[in-house]
Amino acid sequence: QAKHAGRDRVIIFDQAMESLLDEYQKLEDDLRSSVDEDLIDISFQPILSTDGTTLESLEVLGRWFHPKLGLISPERFIPIAENARLIRRYTLSVLKKSCMVAKMEFGVFPDLRLSVNISVQEMLETHFLDDLHAILLETDFPPHLLNLEVTESLLAKNESELSQVMQDCCKLGIKFHIDDFGTGYSSLARLHALPIDALKIDKAFVKRIDQGGETLIKAVIEMAHGLNMKVVCEGVETLEQAQCIAQLGGDYIQGYFYAKPMATSELSMWLFAFTHQKVSPIKVNTKGN
């Protein structure tokens, strides 16, 4: 009897597994055709100086509208693209699209920087820099206006080729930002050895400000500045968080407090308003005030 029940459970488990795998396979197939047909959209989110007065760059974020399932988060589809070896084609199409938009729609802002997310694994693929450079030339987008955001797992890799690729990118003027800093394992020695321009502190740490937990942000800012790097805080949603970051000396802020990710047309209006209205800097609460 017991044995029988166990076997039934195994069968049910197998079926559940199988349908999960089917679902995943289906999603992967759909993603492949969406990438092939260049159907993945992008949105842009401004990164501003902490006081809110100047624009550092626009982060490019992938948006996949699945015909049946609706909007699928990049947190879900990027890992699928990586596993299916689609990530490289995807990244190159995102890069091309965003450079074209920057040139054609936002050409009146000639110093507009872009921040594009790159998977660590692609940086080690052959011709990474050649492909990237080709797109910059084709779209006439200046390399010195490009930030590449790479996650912290990069710091765990010790390949000398990686270091070489990064150095070569830097020679073109491209800058590197370490994304989601604080969520992974970091080798501080590697952090120092690689050409990194800024650390992006993950939103989980910004959230802690609400409970008075700013120790980590403070430490990261001090360390980064000591290493000649800037600090971007992501996921800033409130004035209190922005003021706290300002007080700690954080350089840039990204988050709903200043601006949400926007489609091209919405961003055009935002950029127009931002550059034509005089933005007054947020005030920093100093102790005793």
Among positions 30, 56, 152, 234, the unique one binding ligand C2E when judged by CB under 6 A = 234
In the complex with ligand C2E, the residue whose CB is nearer, 50 or 117, is 117
Among 34, 191, 261, 267, binds ligand C2E (CB under 6 A): 261
Task: Name the residue among 52, 57, 56, 46 with its Cα closest to residue 281.
Answer: 52
Alpha carbons within 13 angstroms on the beta-carbon side of residue 143 total 19
Which tokens in the block code for residue 122?
């692609």
Q: Which of 122, 152, 214, 234 touches Mg ion (CB under 5 A)?
A: 234
Among 180, 217, 248, 267, binds ligand C2E (CB under 6 A): 180
Cα–Cα distance measured from residue 171 to residue 166, given in angstroms and rounded to the nearest whole number: 9
Dist. CA 231–CA 250, nearest whole Å: 6
Is residue 117 part of the contact set for Mg ion (CB under 5 A)? Answer: yes
Of 93 and 145, CB closest to ligand C2E: 93
**Taking CB under 5 A as the rule, does residue 30 contact Mg ion?**
no
> Does 61 engage in binding with ligand C2E (CB under 6 A)?
yes
The 68-97 contact track toward ligand C2E, x by CB under 6 A, reads -----xxx--x---------------x---
- Residues 205 and 181: their CA atoms lie apart, in Å, by 9
Mask for 10-39, x = binds ligand C2E (CB under 6 A): ------------------------------
- Which of these ranges, 16-24, 27-35, 71-79, 179-187, lies near Mg ion under the rule CB under 5 A? 179-187
179 scored as a contact of Mg ion (CB under 5 A):
yes
CA distances from 264 to 24, 99, 272, 288 (A): 31, 12, 12, 43
Residue 255 as a binder of ligand C2E (CB under 6 A): the answer is: yes
Is there binding between residue 182 and ligand C2E (CB under 6 A)? no
What phi and psi, each to the nearest 5 degrees, are found at residue 203? -65, -25
C-alpha gyration radius of the chain? 21
Q: Is the dihedral of CA 45, 51, 52, 54 positive or negative?
A: negative
Nearest in space to 47 (alpha carbons), one of 100, 116, 99: 116
Applying CB under 6 A, does 256 fall inside the site for ligand C2E? yes
The site that binds ligand C2E (CB under 6 A) totals a number of residues, namely: 23
